[in-house]
Amino acid sequence: MRILVIGGSDAGISAALRVGELDRTADVTVLLADEYPNWSICGLPYFLGGETPDWRSLAHRTEFAGITLLRQHRAERIEPAARTVTVRGPGGGEHRLPYDRLIVATGAVPVRPELPGLELPGVHVLHTMQHALDVQRVLDSEPPPKSALVVGAGYIGLEMAEALVHRGLSVTVASRSDPVFPSVDAVFGHAITEELTQHGVRVAAGTALQCIERDGICENLVARGSGGFEARPDLILVATGVQPDTRLAAASGAELGTRGAIRVDRSMRTSVPDLLAAGDCAETWHRLLERNTYLPLGTTAHKQGRIAGETALDGKRLFAGSVGTQVVKLFDLAVARTGLLEREAAEAGFDPATAETVAWDHKAYYPGARRLRVRVTGDRQTGRLLGAQILGSWQGEVAKRIDVFAAALFHEMRVQDISDLDLSYAPPFSSPWDPVQMAAQAWAAECGLNETAAAVRGADFDG
């Protein structure tokens, strides 16, 4: 069996490794467009911020036993009828590689807004290892840059704002959304803005950048935007999101779906025979919405790649789906979410309500207790948990606590059921009622759903 994989990041390597685990006789080849197989793109801000000084440590793995890894080989065309892929090698020449099953894991590419001046020197995007090395060279140059503008206030944008502050730069963040970080509710977005401001970041929320120019006199960069916004940074980093890289798959006849991602079933099959897709280039099955959506996450890519590898060998496993669990560290804060925000739940046809509570991360009498803000969204009609968000100290186990909600969502639990979970307790770590349980109890109280009513109203949901 000849398995050809296009793309050597999370999904592609996961697929190749799974094939090797299941069938040691399979001929597995991975095409890699650059020199960096299976690097942690999520770790780039920590490399650039100096917390991870050696970029080589970002490699998830350096050994690929049983896999033929072709570096600097770019796939140019897929020919499904002939079951071949035309590849351009490092010398520029083209040749064809045959396959029995093809896995497309081309990932995503940065969104480049329609903005005059994006091509100017000093303007960068951050998505690949090479991008990071380019930015690092600028940061290490003499004289080093003193100021930076980050365009975009999503995960990478805000993580890079922190990284650049760590490097001693004066940082401005320009965000279309107001408040920043629209992945969480606005009240948490305002708290994030306050955290950024306290660490010296200038936040221009509700600002649409209109152009980037060179000052004709001093040759400095000038960025201008709505509301009279102006910045004159030494470095501009554009982090306005990503979009699926589907050029190859679409040209081969594969159907596209949500947000232009490759349409796949839960086996990761596309509409083209013997062609599978996984990772940030493909759709994602959402467990709550019960339909495909587009959620480009590293955790999802690893899982989808594993399923694609099994399917390539005629396995029967299905991708279990995502609930969109995410977490980010911003200076002293950690912010996490899973499931649906209230507005997303309403759009999906639920009857959502959200309650917020504040609790200590562990017993207050034990030194170092920190407050956590927990927002729980549930369905009024059934009591079903729909989503949760947590904001607090990054040392307050925010990530692991959002995972409790994620597990509850995965198993379609009601909010009230979270109180019954047997969670660990010792004064340095939690309370007899963990903050996630206190938040669940607060939701039931504030939304008028007592245990008896929930049991009756949730009977159909149980069925």
What phi and psi, each to the nearest 5 degrees, are found at residue 199? -100, 20
Token match 């790649």: residue?
305
Query: Catalytic site residue 447?
Result: no
- Fill in the amino acid letter for 79: E
In three-state secondary structure terms, 411 is: coil
Count, residues in the chain: 463
User: Which of 240, 275, 300 is the last residue before a domain boundary?
Assistant: 240
Rounded to the nearest angstrom, the gap between the alpha carbon of residue 441 and the centroid of all alpha carbons in its chain is: 30
User: Which of 209, 240, 271 is the last residue before a domain boundary?
Assistant: 240
User: Which of 264, 286, 312 is the last residue before a domain boundary?
Assistant: 312
Is 236 found in the same domain as 247? no
DSSP string, 301-331: HHHHHHHHHHHHTT-------B---EEEEET
Query: Average of pLDDT values for 42-63?
Result: 91
Is 436 found in the same domain as 330? yes
Across 389-415, b (16+ Cβ under 10 Å) vs e yields: bbbbbbebbbbebbbbbbebbbeebbb
What pLDDT sits at residue 218?
A: 60
Confidence of residue 453 (pLDDT cuts 50, 70, 90): very low
What pLDDT sits at residue 215?
A: 81
Q: What is the torsional sign of CA 162, 165, 167, 173? A: positive
Given 42, 211, 218, 447, the catalytic residue: 42
Q: Residue 450 pLDDT more than 60?
A: no
Is residue 384 included in any domain, yes or no?
A: yes
Please tell me the distance from the alpha carbon of residue 99 to that of residue 96, in angstroms, as a whole number: 10
Digit-coded pLDDT (tens) for 295-339:
999 999 999 999 999 999 999 999 999 999 999 999 999 999 999
Is residue 296 included in any domain, yes or no?
A: yes
Query: Average of pLDDT values for 255-266?
Result: 98
Beta bridge partners of 262: 256, 282
Q: What is the average pLDDT score of the chain?
A: 94
Query: Average of pLDDT values for 426-444?
Result: 97
What pLDDT sits at residue 216?
A: 67
Is residue 320 included in any domain, yes or no?
A: no
Please tell me the distance from the alpha carbon of residue 85 to that of residue 76, in angstroms, as a whole number: 7
DSSP state of 367: T
What pLDDT sits at residue 93?
A: 94
Q: Residue 343 pLDDT more than 90?
A: yes
Is 374 found in the same domain as 297? no
Contact status, residue 78 vs residue 101, Cβ threshold 8 Å: no
Is 451 found in the same domain as 344? yes
What pLDDT sits at residue 182?
A: 94
Please tell me the distance from the alpha carbon of residue 145 to that of residue 163, in angstroms, as a whole number: 14
- Domain range for 138: 123-240
Is 219 found in the same domain as 195? yes
What pLDDT sits at residue 448?
A: 62
What pLDDT sits at residue 382?
A: 95
Is 457 found in the same domain as 330? yes
What pLDDT sits at residue 217?
A: 63
Please tell me the distance from the alpha carbon of residue 110 to that of residue 243, in angstroms, as a whole number: 6
Is residue 49 included in any domain, yes or no?
A: no
Is residue 181 included in any domain, yes or no?
A: yes
User: Residue 320 has which token pair?
Assistant: 């279990």
Digit-coded pLDDT (tens) for 269-285:
999 999 999 999 999 99
pTM recorded for the entire structure? 0.93
Is 381 found in the same domain as 280? no
CATH number at residue 98: 3.50.50.60
Number of folded domains that form the chain: 3
Please tell me the distance from the alpha carbon of residue 11 to that of residue 14, in angstroms, as a whole number: 5
Is 413 found in the same domain as 308? no
Is residue 317 included in any domain, yes or no?
A: no
Is 342 found in the same domain as 453? yes
Q: Residue 424 pLDDT more than 50?
A: yes
Nearest to 111 by CA among 143, 59, 178, 157: 157
- Residue ranges with strand state E in 228-270: 229-231, 235-238, 242-244
CB neighbour list of residue 376: distance below 8 Å, 6 or more residues apart? 354, 355, 356, 357, 385, 387, 388, 405, 415, 439, 440, 442, 443
Sheet architecture: strand order including 123-125: 123-125, 235-238, 147-151, 170-175, 202-205
What pLDDT sits at residue 61?
A: 85
In three-state secondary structure terms, 216 is: coil
What pLDDT sits at residue 459?
A: 41
What pLDDT sits at residue 63?
A: 84
Q: Residue 62 pLDDT more than 90?
A: no
- Fill in the amino acid letter for 190: H
Is 448 found in the same domain as 421? yes
Is 293 found in the same domain as 199? no
Identify the burial level of 63 via C-beta atoms within 10 angstroms of its C-beta, where 0-12 means exposed, 13-18 middle and 19 or more buried.
Answer: exposed
Is residue 142 included in any domain, yes or no?
A: yes
Is residue 53 included in any domain, yes or no?
A: no
DSSP state of 256: B
Query: Average of pLDDT values for 94-104?
Result: 97
CB atoms within 10 A of CB 195: 19
Digit-coded pLDDT (tens) for 182-200:
999 999 999 999 999 999 9
Is 429 found in the same domain as 407? yes
Q: Residue 455 pLDDT more than 80?
A: no
Please tell me the distance from the alpha carbon of residue 285 to that of residue 340, in angstroms, as a whole number: 14
Whether the bond into 179 is cis, omega within 30 of 0: yes
CB neighbour list of residue 313: distance below 8 Å, 6 or more residues apart? 1, 3, 19, 22, 23, 26, 101
Contact status, residue 220 vs residue 190, Cβ threshold 8 Å: no
Query: Average of pLDDT values for 65-87?
Result: 96
CB neighbour list of residue 219: distance below 8 Å, 6 or more residues apart? none
Digit-coded pLDDT (tens) for 344-366:
999 999 999 999 999 999 999 99
Angle separating helix axes 155-166 and 186-198, nearest 10 degrees: 10
First-residue to last-residue Cα distance in the chain: 43
Confidence of residue 458 (pLDDT cuts 50, 70, 90): very low
Query: Average of pLDDT values for 439-463?
Result: 63
Q: Do the bridges between strand 123-125 and strand 202-205 make them parallel or antiparallel, or are there none, so unpaired?
A: unpaired
Please tell me the distance from the alpha carbon of residue 392 to that of residue 405, in angstroms, as a whole number: 16
Rounded to the nearest angstrom, the gap between the alpha carbon of residue 286 and the centroid of all alpha carbons in its chain is: 15
